[in-house]
Amino acid sequence: MAVLDRLETLAPIREKVEAGERLDFDDGLTLMESDDLLALGELADLARRQRGGGDEVYFVQNLNLYQTNVCRVKCKFCAFARTNKQEDAFTGTAEELVAEAVEQYEISKFTEIHCVNGENPHVDLAYYAEGLRALKQALPDVHLKFYTASEIHHISKLEGCSHAEVLQVLMDAGLGSMPGGGAEIFAPRVRALIAPGKEPAEEWFDVHDTAHRMGITTQCTMLYGHVETYEERIDHMLRLREQQDKTGGFLSFIPLAFHPENTVFERRGFRFTTGADDLKVIAVARLLLDNVPHVKAYWIMMGLPLAQIALHMGADDVQGTVVREKIFQAAGATSGTEQKIPELVRFIREAGRVPVQRDTLYNELRRW
């Protein structure tokens, strides 16, 4: 009887998916409350294929860089940020940034640099523009995916100017696109609990809306597995979908599982999300976000074996080589900080998919 109940619960949603109809809030909640992972995964993969997806799984050869870990915000989920007075705080120069990038480029010939930082109150817009210009001059063919919406908003407040003015200066200096961090969960209740002092969701959306209208593509994210409810997860995804309807500038959605180690939440007894929850979020995201082209199974967060399963539950991207990732490592991730291309290719092939190396904008560079 339990199996029949589950099948009947999801049957109306399957009918919508097969008919190409958009799912609503109640559908999303039904999916999130289901414990039938196989049915959710099969439905998400069906939706992905109906929207034009094939057997391709994408990855990018990238390097993670960090200019500063000094941050004015005391987000309770973060193990990366420091105050300026802490011993391990850093604020690097443009010369140091370039030296690190060029040294790594000689080894791996990456096509993208991914950079996120703390909201440092001690540096200005010129500091960030100088770093971009120096990198662009040293590595002109490398795409610079820099700065979260939170950072852009922070800089605009420091400078007393608009988001558009900040973005224009950074674009002129070499900014290519933006990551999706800082979204966390959009519900004000949750933001007040986990990130007091952080900008409201409306500012995050304004930065991305402005970037999209200026021709800057971005990513979008959701940090889950802390104090949010299922309803707040669904609300978060639907708000992203609404923004995508307006501008179409999100290239991918990256669900980020909360890692409690070395944060206040670890002291409160929080534990890592389960694999079942990680897979469920990916499947539901693929079903609800019908207008976002790609959903990522971020291997550094969930580990390679679980990411392989996620490729059959709606995900079609595993991020990339992710050289020198520090943020999830600070919060207790144990999946390593780098994967070589042959390892990614093998892992994708073993999942029964076709590995495709892409650039930041999803142009195909190589197929195996």
The pLDDT of residue 1: 41
Q: Is the pLDDT of residue 10 over 50?
A: yes
| pLDDT at position 273 over 80 | no
User: Is residue 335 over pLDDT 60?
Assistant: no
The sign one gets for the Cα dihedral 64, 66, 72, 74 is: positive
Strand partners, 223: 256
**C-beta separation of 294 from 362 below 8 A:** yes
Q: Which of 70-74, 192-196, 362-366 has the lowest mean pLDDT?
A: 70-74
pLDDT-derived band at 350, boundaries 50, 70, 90: very high
pLDDT at 268: 55
pLDDT at position 323: 64
Q: Where are the alpha helices (DSSP H) in 258-357?
A: 264-267, 275-288, 299-302, 304-310, 327-330, 341-350
pLDDT by residue (tens digit) across 19-66? 999 999 999 999 999 999 999 999 999 999 999 999 999 999 999 999
Q: Are strands 364-367 and 354-358 parallel, antiparallel or unpaired?
A: antiparallel
More confident residue, 138 or 265: 138
Give me the mean pLDDT over the 103-129 stretch: 93
The more confidently predicted of residues 248 and 268 is 248
Q: What is the DSSP string of 114-170?
A: EE-----TT--HHHHHHHHHHHHHH-TTSEEEE--HHHHHHHHHHHTS-HHHHHHHH
Give the pLDDT of residue 259. 66
- Residue 12 CB: number of other CB atoms within 10 A? 12
Whole-number pLDDT of residue 6: 52
CATH number of 55-367: 3.20.20.70
> CB count, 10 Å around CB of 49?
12
pLDDT on residue 71:
84
Q: Are 118 and 68 in contact (CB under 8 A)?
A: yes
**pLDDT at residue number 341:** 86
- pLDDT score of 321: 81
Q: Is the pLDDT of residue 261 over 50?
A: yes
Residue range 200-209, pLDDT digits in tens: 999 999 999 9
Q: Residue 174 is which amino acid? A: G
Q: How many CA atoms lie within 13 A of 271 on its CB side?
A: 3
**What's this model's pTM, rounded to 2 decimal places?**
0.90
Task: Answer yes or no: is pLDDT of 7 > 80.
Answer: no
Per-residue pLDDT averaged across 259-270, rounded?
Answer: 55
Decide: residue 128, CB within 10 A, 0-12 exposed, 13-18 middle, 19+ buried: buried
Cβ–Cβ under 8 Å, residues 108 and 61:
yes
How far is it, in rounded angstroms, from Cα 311 to Cα 157?
40
- Residue 280 pLDDT class (50, 70, 90 cuts): very high
- The overall average pLDDT reported for the chain is 89
